[in-house]
Amino acid sequence: MVLEATMICIDNSEWMRNGDYSPTRFQAQTDAVNLICGAKTQSNPENTVGVMTMAGKGVRVLVTPTSDLGKILACMHGLEVGGECNLAAGIQVAQLALKHRQNKKQQQRIIVFVGSPVKYDKKVLEMIGRKLKKNSVALDIVNFGEEDEGKTEKLEALLAAVNNNDSSHIVHVPTGPNALSDVLISTPIFTGDGEGGSGFAAAAAAAAAGGVSGFDFGVDPNLDPELALALRVSMEEERARQEAAAKKAAEEAAKQEKGGEQQSTSQDATMTENVSAAAPEAENKTSDLMDDENALLQQALAMSMDGPAASLAVRDTDMSEAAADDQDLALALQLSVQDSTKDQGSETDMSKLLADQSFVSSILASLPGVDPNDPSVKDLLASMQSQPEASSDQKKDEDKAPNEEEKK
Amino acid sequence: MSAESASAILKNQVDLLDFVDWSGVECLNQSTSHSLANALKQGYREDEGLNLESDADEQLLIYLPFTQVIKLHSIVIKGTEDEGPKTVKLFTNREHMGFSNVNDFPPSDTAELSPDNLKGSPVVLKYVKFQNVRSLTIFVEDNQSGSDVTKIQKIVLYGTTVETTDMKGLKKIEDH
């Protein structure tokens, strides 16, 4: 996230007509420039990028450093190939353009695309490099296109003269099937010295590779942390739900048949009382729990530790099985499932369990993030014992996670 | 100016290090391992082994903004006998100068440092030119021996602030 002003020097000389990079060298260059502009502006919104040509009619600044990506892309449009590239003048004009940047706090950087042969001496280039270093301007060189004898050597010398603490880089892009932009994405030119910009680079790389990106859900936590978090949570919920389904199916298959008819009717009654009921589940639970109370509670608690909605998963499985008997009930249950994320349903039978204050407080104490001495929790307990239904409203206002634990 | 009167005047001047706005301090052409902090910061500047060194060539451009308006009286620049700075130009209130525009306007003062100065003897400046200083730019043009690297061991600025003048300090003026 370095605050930077960048000047990109494009080589639009006659050498760029060559098609050894697809579709032409010039097109490949333009794509790369577009990508770089995007990456820079994304990594820090205050970054500015400017573009200039080194050949054509002469060294010309097309757009002075600006953070407006649209302006930059627009000026890239309609560029023509021709003339000869003037590297020395190009770099010097770039330096001048950076000197007159509006925000003096920005670091100065020049990215130069060298596609044609370099006709300057090594000495001249070294002097230019030293001048850039003196004025603390970093330089990135993209060496592609014509492979002239000594060109690589000269550019390496230029880099050595400019390089201050590894802030400047050179990239040699050989001809081949890979597009210029793809090769550049993985270089420090894009990733900005390896710290920022990785989000954009990674996304671009994923698009280029056409495959799975490095991130879990195809969403970069850097770009969209809330979405990444939501995806992660729902993934955990789903996993917990499936685990619970597997367990419950095994345990309750037998019990379900016995109490099936009876429970569905009682469920009906409680459903009419309270739409967002976890009652059916509660009824189920109480009957089960009478038999195997502690073991199931432990299980449920463990699941709820993993994710606040794990309890929801448990309820879902119970309800789905109970509903097999009754289509209308099934429909009603579906509705309640959707609402039950805010579930605070009545627990007519659960309240018996919860009436045991010491039992509840011991559960609460073992839960992370719940302080049994918290006055709101105490109020909750008191009200739950006296009025299971009225308290459901109260609980809706309370913290969700502790409530869901309590009901178990 | 004789050394005695210089030191007498110094009695009511304070070290302006406390008023330097560190967030805006810049130094062009410094070597990364030997940075400006070595010459300016308390503790580092007393250490003879830690110097500010120039990088690509012998010139240095140091920009020091201040947190309040000050009057600059004198300056101490300590360095080695051959690689210490020789010609030093001072500019007031010019932001973000570069090596290309140092010669565009006249400096507020120029100091030719003698070996004596490099040992720690202060250079008294034209006080009238430094009455209202918000920022100071120090341009080190060359060094004593003409070598490629200029080394500065310590920079101290002496002066007073404009708003908060220490009344106790004023009493000490005896000969002026």
> Do B29 and A133 lie within an 8 Å CB cutoff?
yes
Domain count, chain B: 1
Residue B84 falls within a domain, yes or no?
A: yes
- Please give the model's pTM, rounded to 2 decimal places: 0.60
User: Which of the given ranges, A288-297, A360-369, B12-21, B105-114, has the highest pLDDT on average?
Assistant: B105-114
Answer yes or no: is B168 within a domain.
Answer: no
Which chain B residues touch A99 with a CB distance below 8 Å?
98, 100
Q: Give residue-wise pLDDT tens across range A10-40.
A: 999 999 998 888 788 898 899 899 999 999 9
Could you read off the pLDDT of A139-192 as tens digits, one per residue?
999 999 888 889 999 999 999 999 988 889 999 988 887 788 888 888 887 776
Percent of chain B with pLDDT over 90: 24
- Beta carbons of A231 and A219 less than 8 angstroms apart: yes
pLDDT at A147: 85
Q: Which residues of A2-39 are buried (b: 16+ CB within 10 A; e: fewer)?
A: bebbbbbbbbbbebbeeeebeeebbbbbbbbbebbbbb
CB-nearest partner of A165 from B32, B99, B100: B32
B174 in any annotated domain: no
Burial class (CB in 10 A: 0-12, 13-18, 19+), B84: buried
**What amino acid is encoded at A341 in this protein?**
T
Q: What is the mean pLDDT of residues A219-245?
A: 82
pLDDT tens digits along B137-151? 999 998 888 888 998
B113 within domain boundaries:
yes
Cβ–Cβ below 8 Å for A134 and B100: no
Answer yes or no: do A134 and B56 touch at CB < 8 A.
yes
Mind giving me the DSSP string for B108-143? SEEEE--HHHHHTPPEEP-GGGGSSEEEEEEEE--B
The DSSP bridge partners found for residue A76 are none
Q: What is the CATH number of the domain that holds B131?
A: 2.60.120.470
Nearest to B134 by CA among B71, B66, B42: B66
Inter-chain touch A165–B98, beta carbons under 8 Å: no
pLDDT tens digits, A186-211: 888 777 655 544 455 445 444 544 44
The highest-confidence range among A246-260, A310-324, B74-88, by mean pLDDT, is: B74-88
Does A100 lie at the interface with B, CB-CB under 8 angstroms?
Answer: no
> Domain limits at B76?
14-161
Q: Does A99 touch chain B (CB under 8 A)?
A: yes
The answer to whether A99 contacts B29, with C-beta atoms less than 8 Å apart, is no
The domains located in chain A, with CATH, are 4-192 (3.40.50.410)
Q: What is the pLDDT of residue A2?
A: 85
A342 vs B120, which has greater pLDDT? B120
Instruction: Provide the pLDDT for residue A249.
Output: 82
What's the one-letter identity of residue A27?
Q
Closest-CA residue of chain A to B59: A134
Q: Do A131 and B56 touch (CB under 8 A)?
A: yes
- The answer to whether B100 touches B60, Cβ cutoff 8 Å, is no
Asked if A99 and B100 come within 8 Å (Cβ–Cβ), the reply is yes
Q: Which residues from chain A sit within 8 angstroms of residue B148, using beta carbons?
A: none
Q: Return mean pLDDT, chain A.
A: 73
Tell me the per-residue pLDDT of B12-58, one tens digit each, with 9 for 90 and over.
688 888 889 888 898 989 888 888 888 888 888 887 788 888 888 88
Contact: B28, A104; criterion CB under 8 Å = no
Asked whether residue B114 is assigned to any structural domain, the reply reads: yes
Is residue B170 in some structural domain? no
H helix count then E strand count, chain A: 17, 6
Domain contains B171:
no
Give contacts of B32 with chain A, Cβ < 8 Å.
164-165
Distance CA B87, CA B93 (A): 20
State residue A389's pLDDT score.
45
Whether residue B155 is contained in a domain is answered as yes
Q: Which of B63, B95, B96 to mutate to test the interface with A (most CBs of A within 10 A)?
A: B96
Higher pLDDT, B118 or A348: B118
